[in-house]
């Protein structure tokens, strides 16, 4: 297969599947991973694909924020492992903050019920999930509800978060990179996440490996602002080391 044909096939796969990964393409095309990485770099320079950790996505996808249902179906095993590892960061008592997101929602389902916890969240699904747990008191940050994420946003949510201080905040993110920090597509959600970072004694970010190396429109925090990043074993050691060099401890579950 000629190089031009290979590049065309890679673009077709990315647009069909929403993402391509280096290992899968190397096997399918019978070339080395290095060749695939060079092809992805070429396509990124052409403005066709955007490189992300372990692969690439079509540029069209950068303008589209998947719905909560779609995101919840992705990386399910990895999210379960991340949530279980994040349980180690839950205090014996006191207050925690759970950001909206599919990984933080899994953590909410695993919260211990043998200790008194106050849970603050801006996510409708999480508030419903934890409201029936024994020994758990739930506070919902009010505001406009974004239909795509079911998260409370805007000034009401930000203002309520400015008036509290929790022991640990567990945050989700759409993108993580050493260069740009923590990013998300929506400026309203970014403002709420920024307020969450400021309202916590310790900050823990939950992000599966596909989020690394991806930058989105609105930045809400620096990696220097984070104490722990919990990901999965798909995150390579080189990237983990680069993140840890900026301050946070990295856990690969």
Q: What pLDDT score was predicted for residue 218?
A: 92
Better pLDDT: 184 or 65: 184
Which tens digits make up the pLDDT trace of 130-166?
Answer: 999 999 999 999 899 998 899 999 999 999 999 999 9
Question: What would the mean pLDDT of 213-218 be, rounded to a whole number?
Answer: 84
Which tens digits make up the pLDDT trace of 105-133?
Answer: 999 999 999 889 999 999 999 999 999 99
Helix (H, G, I), strand (E, B) or coil at 165: coil
Better pLDDT: 95 or 51: 95
How far apart CA 117 and CA 93 sit, in angstroms, is 5
**Contacting residues for 164 by C-beta, under 8 A, at least 6 apart:** 95, 97, 120, 139, 199
**pLDDT-derived band at 170, boundaries 50, 70, 90:** very high
Average pLDDT, the chain: 91
How far apart CA 164 and CA 37 sit, in angstroms, is 46
Which tens digits make up the pLDDT trace of 55-102?
Answer: 998 875 655 566 677 667 667 899 999 999 999 999 999 999 999 999
């Amino acid at each position: 297969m000629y190089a031009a044909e290979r590049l065309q096939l890679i673009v077709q796969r990315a647009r069909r599947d929403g993402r391509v990964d280096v290992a899968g393409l190397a096997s399918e095309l019978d070339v080395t991973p290095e060749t695939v990485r060079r092809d992805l770099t070429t396509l990124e320079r052409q403005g066709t694909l955007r490189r992300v950790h372990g692969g690439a996505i079509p540029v069209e996808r950068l303008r589209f924020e998947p719905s909560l249902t779609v995101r919840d179906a992705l990386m399910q095993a990895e999210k379960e492992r991340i949530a279980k590892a994040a349980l180690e960061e839950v205090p014996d008592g006191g207050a925690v903050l759970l950001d909206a997101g599919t990984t933080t929602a899994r953590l909410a389902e695993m919260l211990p019920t043998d200790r008194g916890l106050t849970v603050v969240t801006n996510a409708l699904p999480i508030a419903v999930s934890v409201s029936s747990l024994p020994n758990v008191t739930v506070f919902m940050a009010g505001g406009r509800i974004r239909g795509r994420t079911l998260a409370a946003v805007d000034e009401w949510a930000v203002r309520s978060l400015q008036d509290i201080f929790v022991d640990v905040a567990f945050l989700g993110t759409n993108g993580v990179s050493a260069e740009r920090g923590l990013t998300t597509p929506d400026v309203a959600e970014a403002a709420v996440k920024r307020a969450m970072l400021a309202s916590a004694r310790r900050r823990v970010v939950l992000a599966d490996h596909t989020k690394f190396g991806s930058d989105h429109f609105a930045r809400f925090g620096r990696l220097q602002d984070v104490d722990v990043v919990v990901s999965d074993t798909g995150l390579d050691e080189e990237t983990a080391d680069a993140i840890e060099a900026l301050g946070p401890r990295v856990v690969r579950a």
